[in-house]
Amino acid sequence: MRLKFLCKTHRQSLLGDTDAARSLWLGLQDSLKEEAAVATPRRVQQAGTALEAAGIYLLANPAADAALLQRYVDSAQQLIELLVQLRQTHLAIIVISGTNALVEHLARSGADRDAALAACRRLTRQGMGHIEGGHRGCRPGHPVPQPRAQTATLH
């Protein structure tokens, strides 16, 4: 998934040092868990950076086990929750789709296939649950965005 949270220089640096990408990912994810769950642009930037760093790390290490896939989906959920709080549901849907695409790619590249499929299902259910929950009480004339139906197809 190609998000635009990292600047070009930082992205190139992490591509050259995937251990640094992993460290950045896990450090930001942990700090976000410790803070109050109030959405701010800074927290969205942190969550997006964590998810993008995670993607860099996982693409370089595609044989992800169930625990690593779970942690990646947790990072996506953090970003989705923040985006929904800021009423950026279209971006949240893009995060769900992009995260699922990366997990499917990992499953085709050596990751635990059953765990990958379970991660895609969980992300879609929980992510869309956040989006639908965020739209309760929407203004009239502003319907809940309906994503295209997707299924995980692991070949």
Name the residue ranges covered by the structural domains of the chain.
8-134
Q: What residues contact 121, with CB distance under 8 A and at least 6 apart?
A: 152
Q: Is the pTM of this model over 0.85?
A: no
The per-residue pLDDT for range 33-46, each reduced to its tens digit, is 887 778 888 999 99
CB atoms within 10 A of CB 116: 26
Q: Is the CB of residue 72 less than 8 Å from the CB of residue 58? A: yes
| Spatial separation of the C-alpha atoms in residues 11 and 122, rounded to whole Å | 28
Residue 35, classed as helix, strand or coil, is coil
The per-residue pLDDT for range 89-120, each reduced to its tens digit, is 999 999 999 999 999 999 999 999 999 999 99
Query: Which comes out higher in pLDDT, residue 94 or 148?
Result: 94
pLDDT of 30: 92
CB atoms within 10 A of CB 149: 6
pLDDT of 137: 46
